[in-house]
Amino acid sequence: MEKILVTGGSGLVGKAIHNIVGNNSIYHFTNSRETDLYQYESCRKLFEKLQPTKVIHLAANVGGLFKNMNNKVDMLEKNLIINYNIVKCCHDFGVKKLISCLSTCIFPDKTTYPINEEMLHNGEPHSSNDAYAYSKRMMEIHCKSYREQYGDNFMCIIPTNIYGSHDNFNLNDSHVIPGLIHKCYLAKKNNTDFLVSGTGKPLRQFIYSNDLAKIIILLLDKLHYNESLIISPDSTYEISIGKIAELIAREFDYMDKLRYDTTKSDGQYRKTANNTKLKQLYHNLEFINIETGIKETIQWFQKNYNTCRK
């Protein structure tokens, strides 16, 4: 009987997958309250109990620019430990397919654009998130090593910036869209400036969590595909942080108080990704537009303000 384990089941992408598959009994969503993924024996007991045939590995110690800059040891060590435990258990228990989640922020800082899957290790990542980046690069090497030595069907996906409902809206540790949504919400509530860190000029590609979840579910059935794969809309979807801030401010009807704190770091200027391999696999993929995605995310945030992660 097929059994699919999803680590990070209470997170942004885990919740999106759960919303799609519903209460399908073949899926098991685990979270940090149920299983301590930092402990190998805890991971092993989970695999012994569940005997998963496929694994979607989403659990990670993640955050936005300033969490990456200020917590480098945690970002490195915790992710190395989690990833080692999951990848090793997948091998030891004969998992038929492992999909592990990386991020485009781990690519080299000094590179040509658009970036593709073969460029992952071609230089140092940006200094602002190098510890996190190296931990994720090591997981790609770990999966590749198991493929080459044992023939394990382990692959890594590399999504662009993910956003959507069930995100982490913490003002200090979140990624850019949820952080800006929470900032704007509080600014309007308190009648203060909606202050965006940096110049607003850096460019990013964003993917709605439901879109990513649908692609991950599709990939589970491609048992013979195990190459690293960028998951991204076309480069025409690239948008500046300033434009994102404007879209959010308009949804809150608060454009007149939008300001930029240019004393704060911008981080990496761009990370434009090439999705050619993805489009070769799936020719007719459609992605929700950023305006609709932000609108839906804000609506969810306001409705769940008292209980969401913040």
Residue appearing with tokens 């850019």: 176
Distance CA(8)–CA(22), nearest Å, equals: 16
**Among residues 132, 163, 208, 237, which one is catalytic?**
132
Residue 146 annotated as catalytic:
no
Burial class (CB in 10 A: 0-12, 13-18, 19+), 136: buried
Phi, psi dihedral angles at 168 (to 5 degrees) = -95, 115
Distance CA(105)–CA(270), nearest Å, equals: 9
H helix runs in the chain, sequence order = 12-21, 40-50, 65-70, 72-92, 130-150, 176-190, 209-220, 241-251, 276-281, 290-303
Q: Give the full edge-to-edge strand order of the sheet including 54-57.
A: 27-29, 4-7, 54-57, 97-101, 154-159, 229-231
Nearest CA-CA partner of 10 in 208, 89, 19, 2: 19
> Are 4 and 54 within 8 A, CB to CB?
yes
Q: DSSP for 159-198? A: E-EEE-TT-B--TTTS-HHHHHHHHHHHHHHHT--EEEES
What residues are labeled active site? 132
